[in-house]
């Protein structure tokens, strides 16, 4: 596609519910990144894929967070047993060559846990 597509755009979850956030990167982009942006903060790195391989997951805040990209294109970020502190905008970005020239963000998914 023309840009990085994320869905849903907004998600309200009850505390304890599981959620799945989808990212469809720019066609041909091998690198895919997930970031979490809390209100008034800069984005914080969660995890990074090169094709289907998850090369870095050091930013995932707990074992409730899981990401996958099984076929090297679409990625899903799953959060189990959501907590209020998980409320944030989840940004996906893709790049042709890693971070060398920066990357393109999707519109994000705003998750609100109530």
Partner 1 sequence: QKEVEQNSGPLSVPEGAIASLNCTYSDRGSQSFFWYRQYSGKSPELIMFIYSNGDKEDGRFTAQLNKASQYVSLLIRDSQPSDSATYLCAVNEAGGSQGNLIFGKGTKLSVKP
Which residues are near partner 1 by CB under 8 A? 31, 33, 35, 40-45, 47-48, 50, 55-56, 58-59, 91, 98-108
53 or 114: CB nearest partner 1: 53
Q: How far apart are CB 5 and partner 1 at their closest, in Å?
A: 12
Find, among 35, 1, 18, the residue nearest to 108 by Cα: 35
Q: CB burial class (10 A; 0-12, 13-18, 19+) of residue 51?
A: middle
26 or 108: CB nearest partner 1: 108
Rounded CA separation 90/35 (Å): 6
8 or 16: CB nearest partner 1: 8
């Amino acid at each position: 596609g023309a840009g990085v597509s994320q869905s849903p755009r907004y998600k309200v979850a009850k505390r304890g519910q599981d959620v799945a956030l989808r990212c469809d990167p720019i066609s041909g982009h091998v690198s895919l990144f997930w970031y979490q942006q809390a209100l008034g903060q800069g984005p914080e790195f969660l995890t990074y894929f090169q094709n289907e391989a998850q090369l870095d997951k050091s930013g995932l805040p707990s074992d409730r967070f899981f990401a996958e990209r099984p076929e090297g294109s679409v990625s899903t970020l799953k959060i189990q047993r959501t907590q209020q502190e998980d409320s944030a905008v989840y940004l996906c970005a893709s790049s042709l060559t890693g971070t060398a020239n920066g990357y393109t963000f999707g519109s994000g998914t705003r998750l609100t846990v109530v």
